[in-house]
Amino acid sequence: MSILVVNAGSTSLKFGLFAPGKADPLVSGAIDWADGDRQHAKLSLGGEVCAQVAVPDDRAAALCAIETVLKTAGPGSITAIGHRVVHGGTQFDGSVIIEERVKQAISNLSSLAPLHNPPALAAIEAGESLGVPQVAVFDTSFFARLPARATHYAIPYEWVEKWGVRKIGFHGISNAYCTGRANELLGGDPTKLRLIICHLGGGCSASAVVGGSPVATTMGFSTIEGLPMGTRSGSVDPGLLLHLQREHGFSAEEIERGLTRNAGLLGVSGISSDLAQVEAAAQNGNERAQLAFELFADRVRAAIGGLAVTMGGVDALIFTDRIGESSPVLRAAACKGLGCLGLNLDPERNADCQADTDIATVQSSGRILVLHTREEWMIARETERVLS
């Protein structure tokens, strides 16, 4: 069995071909159109850009990935496909073989994850052309174990009873990997380890994990709540949305587009959804870029403090995904003032760190880890488990 993993997003599609039990992929690549030009998307293999490809829609991107893998690994090399699906709602507390009812459920949840569920569904439909089993691995499954006090909003209780309105939580695949990897690196008793995991990329969240189980997370019912993100607002005052409806005639669709596609780092900076470009502009004196960076760092720091108090302390703070792994400036800003929690950043280690590194000072009572998240490998493992 060789498992193709497809991780379809709003501005990229990552893929990898895995052999059973092997952590390193036989083939790995990505198709990226972060600049919005889908006619000249960048196709990379093994981390190196190798071609420009036209992927006018999400199905075309998935078919391009499949064709690339078959050309590289040979005909018949794909015997199963595992898909990252961001929103599984409360219907799925684990990974499942994809059939029509599963596809319908993913489609029904698209309004709550408009940037992610539709691309995943398109990739699933593209994968059907191979006639091999497909498995959905949900980003929400890890948080199915959240305690009730962490999932309930202080809203009329009948809304919960009638429509199942509750905090769901996302980035669960990454959180599950980082939890296991932190246990390996830190040793000690994994049943007592208190972790704060900051998954910072195009989407961003911070989560508290105690003894391997989540106890709190910043993302909620949809993929908008919590930290500011590349193009998503993060948490805002619900009264603001009511004001926009009543006083300015905004429709639900206009509000959704504003909050999911035109907000976050892009909306505040007016430059880019990519923090690296925002950082560069801020360093060159752009005031809006500086505001976007400071706002983002402040929200991350506040989330860390709140989650630490929720757990009664923290043994390790983890930064992962594109921003978390690649931006020492953001890590330094987010850790400023965390000495009161026993988290002390070493500037030299932070400035020159590799993946899976501790960047805390020797004297720090809590560790600060930079981990390279391996969502594709986790999806491959889950797909193999479900099919076997």
Could you read off the pLDDT of 97-156 as tens digits, one per residue? 999 999 999 999 999 899 899 999 999 999 999 999 999 999 999 999 899 999 999 999
Catalytic residue among 37, 58, 93, 139: 139
Percentage above 70 pLDDT, the chain:
100
Percentage above 90 pLDDT, the chain:
93
For residues 124 and 133, the answer to whether their CB atoms sit within 8 Å is no
58 is catalytic: no
- Model confidence pTM above 0.85: yes
Question: How high is the pLDDT of residue 35?
Answer: 74
Average of pLDDT values for 27-41? 91
Question: How high is the pLDDT of residue 339?
Answer: 97
pLDDT at 356 over 80: yes
Give Cα 227 distance to the centre of its chain: 12
Question: How high is the pLDDT of residue 332?
Answer: 98
Q: Please give the domain boundaries of the chain with CATH numbers for all domains.
A: 3-138 (3.30.420.40), 188-371 (3.30.420.40)
Angle value at C-alpha 382, between 375 and 186, nearest 5 degrees: 55
Question: How high is the pLDDT of residue 36?
Answer: 79
Burial class (CB in 10 A: 0-12, 13-18, 19+), 104: exposed
pLDDT at 358 over 90: yes
Task: Indicate the pLDDT class of residue 11, thresholds 50, 70 and 90.
Answer: confident
Average of pLDDT values for 306-325? 97
When the pLDDT of each residue in the chain is averaged and rounded to a whole number, the result is: 96
Question: How high is the pLDDT of residue 216?
Answer: 98
Question: How high is the pLDDT of residue 21?
Answer: 87
For residues 304 and 185, the answer to whether their CB atoms sit within 8 Å is no
Task: Indicate the pLDDT class of residue 194, thresholds 50, 70 and 90.
Answer: very high
pLDDT at 43 over 80: yes
Average of pLDDT values for 289-297? 98
Q: With CA atoms as reference, report the closest residue to 204 among 351, 353, 373.
A: 373
264-to-38, 227, 255, 359, 376 alpha-carbon distances in Å = 22, 9, 14, 28, 26
C-alpha span between 114 and 260 (Å, rounded): 8
pLDDT at 88 over 80: yes
Helix, coil or strand: residue 214: strand
Burial class (CB in 10 A: 0-12, 13-18, 19+), 175: buried
Task: Indicate the pLDDT class of residue 90, thresholds 50, 70 and 90.
Answer: confident
Query: What torsion, rounded to 10 degrees, do the Cα atoms 291, 249, 118, 162 define?
Result: 110
